[in-house]
């Protein structure tokens, strides 16, 4: 399939690499199409992977992955909303505020979440929140000796959730749990803070959550 990757950071690049290996065609969206970080893209055929503006990328895909910094999200989405109309949008963002001396905090929570705000802005798209509780390095083919990691997803449209579940299976997830509507992003986004806290305390960034059930 043709995939819009809206964002050229670690997440956008990790998912782009994983998806092209699986045979998908990808366009990464960025403000800077000559970004140094993206030079590896040129090693692949242009029809497999390319780099474009946010609008070009959003227009390219049959579905999209949103992976921009939270403070940029609203502006970017307002611009590309028409190109994403009717499409499934996988929202990987976390609404993080970074502080100099303290761990990051959530910019929104309790009464509203980033996932809901993205869905409100992209009112003609089907937004599914997932993959926000794992390091970009483990988003594709997550392998752990201790067992299977869990990935939660939430969103309002059930066929969009079925579609995203299939994409997650393709990139190597086995334990995928649908936790309800997009409002459940209020639970998934704080989970990212717990993931960060565990990383700080244990000095690791490869960890993942799993759910055990007897
Ligand atoms: N890193 C992880 O392991 C991880 C894991 C889970 C979730 N997340 C979430 O996923 C999202 C992406 O994270 P990331 O680590 O890949 O990269 P990031 O540094 O959070 O975001 C990079 C992207 O944001 C864009 N951006 C930054 N400021 C902008 C602005 N003012 N206007 C327009 N675009 C702007 C960058 O544009 P350019 O392309 O022009 O540089 C780039 O495309 C974030 O919301 C993050 O919280 C990250």
Kindly report, residue by residue over 117-165, the tens digit of the pLDDT: 999 999 999 999 999 999 999 999 999 999 999 999 999 999 999 999 9
pLDDT at residue 212 is higher than 90 = yes
Taking only Cα atoms into account, the Rg of the chain, rounded to an integer number of angstroms, comes to 16
Structural domain includes residue 85: yes
Long-range contacts made by residues 43-52, C-beta under 8 angstroms, separation at least 24? 44/20, 48/20, 49/16, 49/20, 49/25, 50/26, 51/8, 51/27, 52/27, 52/28
- Residue to mutate, 4, 28, 69, 131, ligand 1, most ligand atoms under 8 Å from C-beta: 69
Structural domain includes residue 140: yes
Q: Which two tokens stand for residue 53?
A: 């503006």
- Residue to mutate, 68, 70, 207, ligand 1, most ligand atoms under 8 Å from C-beta: 68
CA atoms within 13 A on the CB side of 201: 7
Residue range(s) defining the domain that contains residue 30: 2-202
Average pLDDT over residues 9-32: 98
Structural domain includes residue 208: no
Q: How far apart are CA 138 and CA 10, in angstroms?
A: 11
Let me know: does 84 contact 59? Beta carbons within 8 Å.
Answer: no
Structural domain includes residue 123: yes
Q: How far is the CA of 178 from the centre of ligand 1 (A)?
A: 25
Who wins on pLDDT, 210 or 102? Answer: 210
Q: Give, using CA atoms, the residue closest to atom 40 of ligand 1.
A: 31
Which residues have CB under 6 Å of ligand 1? 7-12, 30-32, 67-70, 72, 76, 92-94, 96, 132, 135-136
Total number of domains in the chain: 1
Ligand 1 atom with minimal separation from the 6 CA: 43
pLDDT at residue number 183: 98
Q: How far is the CA of 93 from the centre of ligand 1 (A)?
A: 8
Q: Give, using CA atoms, the residue closest to atom 35 of ligand 1.
A: 72
Q: Which of 94, 114, 113, 93 is nearest to 104 (CA)?
A: 94
Q: Tell me, yes or no, if the pTM score tops 0.95.
A: yes
Q: How far apart are CA 187 and CA 184, in angstroms?
A: 5
Structural domain includes residue 62: yes
> Tell me, what CATH number does 197's domain have?
3.40.50.720
Kindly report, residue by residue over 57-89, the tens digit of the pLDDT: 999 999 999 999 999 999 999 999 999 999 999
Q: Give, using CA atoms, the residue closest to atom 7 of ligand 1.
A: 132
pLDDT at residue number 102: 86
Structural domain includes residue 211: no
Q: Which two tokens stand for residue 66?
A: 């949103």
pLDDT at residue number 103: 86
pLDDT at residue 96 is higher than 90 = yes
Q: Quickly state the pLDDT bin for 97 (edges 50, 70, 90).
A: very high
pLDDT at residue 48 is higher than 90 = yes
Q: How far is the CA of 71 from the centre of ligand 1 (A)?
A: 9
Structural domain includes residue 213: no
Q: Give, using CA atoms, the residue closest to atom 48 of ligand 1.
A: 11
Q: Which of 82, 108, 80 is nearest to 94 (CA)?
A: 108
Structural domain includes residue 127: yes
Q: Which two tokens stand for residue 7?
A: 């964002």
pLDDT at residue number 118: 98
Q: What is the DSSP string of 48-76?
A: TEEEE-HHHHHHH-SEEEE-S-HHHHHHH
Q: How far is the CA of 74 from the centre of ligand 1 (A)?
A: 13
> Percentage of the chain with pLDDT > 70?
100
């Amino acid at each position: 399939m043709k995939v819009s990757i809206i964002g050229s950071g670690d997440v956008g690049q990790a998912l782009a690499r994983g998806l092209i290996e699986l045979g998908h065609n990808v366009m990464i969206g960025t403000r800077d199409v000559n970004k140094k970080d993206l030079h590896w893209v040129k090693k692949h055929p242009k029809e497999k992977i390319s780099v474009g503006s946010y609008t070009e990328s959003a227009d390219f895909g049959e579905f999209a992955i949103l992976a921009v910094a939270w403070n940029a999200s609203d502006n970017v989405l307002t611009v590309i909303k028409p190109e994403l109309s009717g499409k499934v949008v996988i929202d990987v963002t976390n609404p993080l505020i970074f502080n100099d001396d303290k761990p990051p905090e959530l910019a929104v929570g309790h009464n509203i979440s980033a996932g809901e705000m993205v869905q409100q802005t992209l009112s003609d798209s089907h937004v599914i929140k997932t993959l926000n509780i794992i390091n970009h390095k483990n988003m594709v083919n997550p392998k752990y000796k201790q067992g299977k990691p869990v990935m939660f997803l939430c969103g309002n449209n059930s066929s969009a959730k079925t579609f995203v579940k299939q994409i997650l299976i393709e990139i190597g997830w086995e334990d995928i749990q649908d936790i309800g509507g997009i409002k459940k992003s209020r639970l998934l986004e704080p989970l990212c803070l717990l993931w960060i806290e565990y990383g700080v305390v244990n000095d690791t960034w490869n960890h993942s959550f799993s759910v055990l059930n007897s």
